[in-house]
Chains A and B, each alone.
Chain A
Amino acid sequence: MNGLTGLSTRRLLLKSLLPALILGYYALATRNHWLNPRIWVTPGQIWHAAAGLNRDGFLWLAVGESLLRDLIGFTLGTASGLLIGGALGLSRWADRLGTPTLHFLKAIAIFAWIPMLTMFFGIGELSKIVFIALSAFYPVALNTLEGIRSVPPSQRELARVYRLNPWQRLKKVIAPSALPSILTGIQLALILTWLSTVGVEYFMSAGPSIGGILLNGAESFHLDLVFIGVILLGGIGFALDQLAHGVGRHLLRNRPQTLNA
């Protein structure tokens, strides 16, 4: 398939049939009050609510708060993931001692940590950042470990043949060889931290933030607010994902085949 141009009219019709039916039904149903009008808002109402939030400057404040929180947690989590994953990958002893525990901790559904974090650190900013960092930590640590582990023995032998010292070996052989896997981990971390940012805002009722908008909307039964939050959550998530893949492609542009297509 090569985009819309390659599609026949019939396929185009078929493709737009279901979305058109759903949207059409929704438009008719909200206008004619087939659905409870106190819950089901019209697209116009959503637009109106968004404009209202925007007038106060609240909308941008919320987006900014969430992104900043995400950025801090992501940076901390990625850095510690690289450190721990690197240590586990480079040292056989660290690997044997630490990797099983890491795998067990990873198996704990991430949101299960929230009650404990709030008990330790309260529901302030610290708990949120720690939680976001945690959700970046696992994918980065595991993919770094995996990337270093799967450096081909042939490349390791090459390093021995040329008698590279450990630092040269890391810089010239291991790090570049593990890079695609590490980048995969970081990409995963970027999208996961975004989800946990909004999630943790929802759980720990933050002030102006996207999670806060969702929480307010759900608690006050304002579906227009909820939809605004959902659109921001999905839209920014999509943008972050594209960004991560773009950066990954750029960094790996000279590789014959990369893991992130």
Chain B
Amino acid sequence: MSKPALSARGPAARGFAARPFATQRLAARRFAGRALSAMILPAALLLLWQIASTRGWTPRQILPPPKIVWASFLDLASSGELLTHIKASLLRVAISFLIGSGAGLVLGLGMGLSRRVEDLFGVAFHAVNQVPTLGWLPVMIVVVGLNDTLSYILIAQAVFVSVAINTQRGLRQTPERLVEVARVFRLTRAQLLRKVILPSAAPQIFTGLRFGLANGWVSLVVVELLISSEGLGYLMSWGRQAFQLDLVLVAILVVGVIGLAMDAGLARLEGLFSRWQTEKRFA
């Protein structure tokens, strides 16, 4: 059989040209401009803070000058103390996240793929969801006691809920029209799952993981403020008791930076897994 090629005519043929170099440079310059203007407000606030402390508008214990905060940051960082607390917090979150998201994925997959599993666990699951982490905290304090186990349970629970809900929702939302494609090509159940249902649910599952991590991070701060003897939350609550606002501020900033970094990391991972959604159209 000789098969003369259909010519891809018209706009189609202009296909995959790489983005011109000039546009890339323009984009880079615009990004630099954006970053610069983004720094103006924080810089202004910093200046205001500096003036306020040199003029003595606020007492030193209430708002120490930026210099002192910076000094305690350097001190905390160079002594390795800050790193110890960061490590403790990250480890706590990582372990809880693994437990919570693992369990959430299992239950979410089960409830998303099987009506029977959903019937069995759905009611109890939704009842448990009605109670926020803040409600579980005192219950668990009474039942488990004020210890590390408690922190893992609470953080993992916060992750678990969001992962399970979103996994189930994602699986349930697979468009029927794409499932029909699988029927036409007579895919087996496993192939259907691998080629159609899971990729279709992947964005929502990732959303669940991202929300889960964000929720877990918030719960970590709550838990560490209350019970732990190390970690960023502990650093804050210790700083408050010692009336050292510089420590509190350093801890707040680090909590923010890590929160942002984790979210950006997962977003990037999500992008890798769903290139089909994020890439620009060529034709």
Contact = CB atoms under 8 A, between A and B. Distances in A.
Interface string A4-20: 00000001001111110
B122 interface: yes
Interface stretch (A97-105, A155-163, A171-179): A97-105
Given A39-B143, A98-B41, A202-B134, A22 B255 contact: no
Contacts of A261: none
Interface in A1-54: 11, 14-19, 22, 39
Nearest to A233: B135
Contact of A97 (B41, B137, B217, B260): B41
Interface string A184-226: 0000000000010011001100000000001101100111001
A118 B135 contact: no
B221 A111 contact: yes
Given A15-B123, A22-B124, A218-B141, A101 B248 contact: no
A116 interface: yes
Given A18-B123, A104-B260, A108-B255, A199 B222 contact: yes
A195 B134 contact: yes
A230 B139 contact: yes
A104 B134 CA distance: 24
Contacts of B251: 112
B249 to A, nearest CB: 7
Contacts of A108: 252-253, 255-256, 259
Contacts of B119: 11, 14-15
B38 interface: yes
Contact of A119 (B139, B218, B232, B248): B248
Chain B interface size, under 10 / 10 to 19 / 20 to 34 / 35 or more: 35 or more
A96 B34 contact: yes
Nearest to A113: B252
B237 A109 contact: no
A118 B240 contact: yes
Q: Which 5 interchain pairs have the tightest Cβ spacing?
A: A100-B38, A218-B138, A108-B256, A115-B240, A107-B259
Interface of A: 11, 14-19, 22, 39, 96-101, 103-105, 107-116, 118-120, 195, 198-199, 202-203, 214-215, 217-218, 221-223, 226-227, 229-230, 233-234, 237-238
Interface of B: 34, 37-38, 40-42, 61-62, 115-116, 119-124, 127, 130-132, 134-139, 141-143, 217-218, 220-222, 225-226, 232-233, 236-237, 239-240, 243, 245, 248-249, 251-253, 255-257, 259-260, 263
Given A101-B41, A119-B248, A199-B222, 16 more contacts: A18-B124, A22-B124, A99-B38, A101-B38, A103-B260, A108-B259, A109-B220, A109-B259, A116-B240, A116-B252, A119-B62, A119-B240, A202-B138, A226-B138, A233-B132, A234-B131
26 contacts: A14-B120, A15-B120, A15-B122, A16-B123, A19-B124, A39-B142, A96-B37, A96-B38, A97-B38, A98-B41, A99-B38, A107-B259, A109-B218, A111-B221, A112-B251, A115-B248, A116-B236, A116-B252, A199-B222, A202-B134, A203-B226, A218-B141, A221-B142, A227-B139, A234-B132, A234-B135
